[in-house]
Structure 1
Amino acid sequence: MMKMNNIKQIHEFGQSIWLDFLDRKLIRSGELKKLIEEDGLRGMTSNPAIFEKAISGSADYDEQIWEVAEKHQNNEAIFYELAVTDIREAADLFGPVFAASQDGYVSLEVSPHLARDSSRTIRQATELWRKVDRKNVMIKIPATAEGLSAIRRAICEGINVNITLLFGLDRYEAVTDAYLSGLEDRLADGHPIDQIASVASFFLSRIDVLVDQMLETKGHLELKGEVAIACAKQAYQIYKQVFGSERFKKLQEKGARPQRVLWASTGTKDPSFADTKYVDALIGPETVNTVPPETLEAYRDHGHPESRLEQDADLAAQTLARLKKIGINIDEVTAQLENEGIEKFNKPYDQLLQAIEEKKARSPLKSYAL
């Protein structure tokens, strides 16, 4: 008997696997369609770093850059024309998944330079949502303090939101409150809430990268590689409390869906860890894991699907308590990671705009420069 595909098997435990990667070649070559059919891939996420690699690293976008530049648009406007084209095409490929389930979403991020600006974030999120014009798209808004009001407003406006750059448990609770408040606002305005979807993307491997350095300095190697998964397991307990609450049940009666937790940054960065570490450990119902292509391939080859997210929940709490005892403040860690995360997206975003500028200069059309 043929062994079932490891990635498809994860779905039997209630978790959806999304791909943390996007480029035009993948979409147009038939490869994405194949992943959807053969691996049961159920969604896709993008970010500025992913688009920077796609646009800078190939000639696939050059012709559209030259055409769009004819409209005298700035480089950011050109970028979003390219991105919207890709996002629409990917969303259409996921159309059958979306029609058959509560999955099939493709995510597009607002400019990382807006991470500390609520009003401009909501303005751009609304603009991108209208431009993409697909029900199975999510607009990514960062989980900064300033992002919270933008998340609430976007949900109220009926925009699907993928909350990104989420590291801390307290901030996660604030994100769930922004989601529920947005749904309540929308109901109060007399609009339906049964078509709105949202995920809260918890970034994991970066937590271990930073905390493990601190553990080494303090000589507590027994906790190495344990903290991100402990945080994720604690986040899932918060998820269950919030979406099992009376407050949510009232919204659920009107058709509201839970805001699923999404595990992001799940490619292993420490070569001493298993390459499937952040997938195997966090399989559980009503969750999403967005994985880079190399992790998807590794999991297909040698993953071990089993529902583990609620195993050792007490141990997860103990791990975080021990961290505090040895003098590592997880709130300070997550605040640092948020700041670094914004910067890690700002840099490739600026490089991306520069690459567009350079490609414009090689345009055979050139009339836009006159």
Structure 2
Amino acid sequence: MTKDNSIFRALALGQSIWCDFLSRDLLRSGRLDKMIEEGVRGVTTNPSIFENAIGKTSDYDGDILSMVRQGKNREEIYTSLTVADVREAADRFFPIYAGSGGKDGFVSLEVSPLLAHDAEGTVSEAQTLARLTEKKNVMIKIPATPEGMKAIRRCIALGINVNATLIFSVRQYREVAEAFIAGLEDRASEGKPLSGIASVASLFVSRVDTAVDKLLASKDTGGALAGKIAVDNARAAYMDFEIILSGPRWRSLEEKGAQVQRLLWASTGTKNPDYSPTMYVDSLIGPHTVNTIPPATLEAFLAGGTVGLTVTSDREGMKRRLDKLAALGISLDEVTDRLLEEGLDAFEKAYILLLEVIEKKGQSLAG
């Protein structure tokens, strides 16, 4: 397998490409191994992904039946199935984890969406999932709600790898970065080591354009901004990342062995058919970043992605466009707040639906 493809070229510029999907078929068919050969360096999951993998295939039916006969309830079955897939995927990526000194090769598993507004419950479940997976290269996904921020800080202090997810705004990103740094400071104050703790801050991209473009359609002069704001929003977050990375608080932690919380671009599949299928990959490549890409977009990026140092591009244009958006009376903060609520609702619905499917499948399979 050649290492001269778009994934490896992005890696040379400091960006790791992860796959935004996991299923038993992906694991057992050899497709994940092929992705790893092509340069993919991690996997992310969420309740919607598992709802598709478990609820819409028969691949897990044998295990569901076995666990029903053992007397396990639907939540226990869900956890067992997802933990098993994540553990298997983590084993596949462990050589990358080891070879990168613990900086890459991660698989993410999300806490229950029903805990999004429960900091203590989130910390407790994160500890349970970390114990059940028992892999150094697993990250626990925690949504970036106000209570989630508290949980992120506590989990980092406990030494749990964290993927802070459902970030839509620059403000949210700053709060996540603060929670990460404060968690490391808490841990350092307890005399505990900072090395080996990994984290990413997952900022969702394409959904911002989907929402903003609808609002721009009603503005006479809004057309020039269509398809631009999502990337500008992400690039603005990266500017804050650079400031944080150069600050004295971070330098002090780095001297103690802490590793950077990378910015991860999520929701990078293109929703609008009028846009390039790789626009949310091509436009956000740079140091200390991850892009987690759905399989179809990953194929498109391999086939025709454009690789360059782009995450720092056109900063003057970025500021001008974001100012123009505000001048048109469109509040990006209001848009991103709504997207967070919609994201939480979507994951909760997918999670509840999957629990119901597991229960019905179990009953049907058991006769």
TM-score (norm 1): 0.96
Q: Distance in 2 between matches of 1:187 and 1:68?
A: 42
User: What count of residue pairs does the alignment treat as equivalent?
Assistant: 363
Structure 2 counterpart of 1:289, from 275, 288, 291: 291
Q: Do the aligned partners of 2:115 and 2:122 also contact (CA within 8 Å) in 1?
A: yes
CA-CA distance at 1:93 after TM superposition: 0.2
Q: Distance in 2 between matches of 1:170 and 1:50?
A: 27
What corresponds to 1:298 in structure 2?
300
Q: Distance in 2 between matches of 1:28 and 1:187?
A: 41
Q: Distance in 1 between matches of 2:352 and 2:141?
A: 18
What corresponds to 1:311 in structure 2?
313
Q: Which amino acid is the alignment partner of residue 22 of structure 1? A: L
What corresponds to 2:20 in structure 1?
20
Q: Distance in 1 between matches of 2:329 and 2:119?
A: 34
For 1:43, what is the secondary structure of its paired residue?
coil
Q: Distance in 2 between matches of 1:338 and 1:135?
A: 29
CA-CA distance at 1:213 after TM superposition: 0.4
CA deviation vs aligned residue, 1:11-32 (integer Å, no higher than 9, x gap):
1111000000000011122221
What corresponds to 1:239 in structure 2?
241
CA deviation vs aligned residue, 1:264-316 (integer Å, no higher than 9, x gap):
00000011100001000001111000000000000111111111111111211
Q: Distance in 1 between matches of 2:70 and 2:196?
A: 35
Q: Distance in 2 between matches of 1:26 and 1:264?
A: 20
**Structure 1 residues without counterparts, runs of 5 or longer:** none
CA-CA distance at 1:3 after TM superposition: 9.1
What corresponds to 2:326 in structure 1?
324
Q: Distance in 2 between matches of 1:61 and 1:127?
A: 22
For 1:347, what is the secondary structure of its paired residue?
helix
Q: Distance in 2 between matches of 1:120 and 1:175?
A: 18
Question: After TM superposition, where is structure 1 displaced by more than 4 Å over at least 4 residues in a row?
Answer: none
CA deviation vs aligned residue, 1:67-101 (integer Å, no higher than 9, x gap):
22233222112101000000000000001100111
For 1:284, what is the secondary structure of its paired residue?
coil
Q: Distance in 1 between matches of 2:271 and 2:34?
A: 27
CA deviation vs aligned residue, 1:323-368 (integer Å, no higher than 9, x gap):
111101111111100000001111111111111011101234x6xx
What corresponds to 2:186 in structure 1?
185
CA deviation vs aligned residue, 1:109-131 (integer Å, no higher than 9, x gap):
01111111111111111111111
User: Structure 1 residues 67 and 3, CA, compared in 2 at 3 Å: closer, same or farther?
Assistant: closer
Q: Distance in 1 between matches of 2:120 and 2:144?
A: 14
**Structure 2 residues without counterparts, runs of 5 or longer:** none
Give matches, 1:40-55, under 5 Å: 40-55=39-54
Q: Distance in 2 between matches of 1:359 and 1:8?
A: 42
Aligned CA RMSD, in angstroms, stands at: 1.1
What corresponds to 1:32 in structure 2?
32
Q: Does 1:78 align with 2:80?
A: no
For 1:49, what is the secondary structure of its paired residue?
helix
What corresponds to 1:218 in structure 2?
219
Q: Which amino acid is the alignment partner of residue 314 of structure 2? A: D
Q: Does 1:93 align with 2:92?
A: yes
Q: Distance in 2 between matches of 1:313 and 1:259?
A: 22
Q: Which amino acid is the alignment partner of residue 93 of structure 1? A: R
Q: Distance in 2 between matches of 1:221 and 1:202?
A: 24
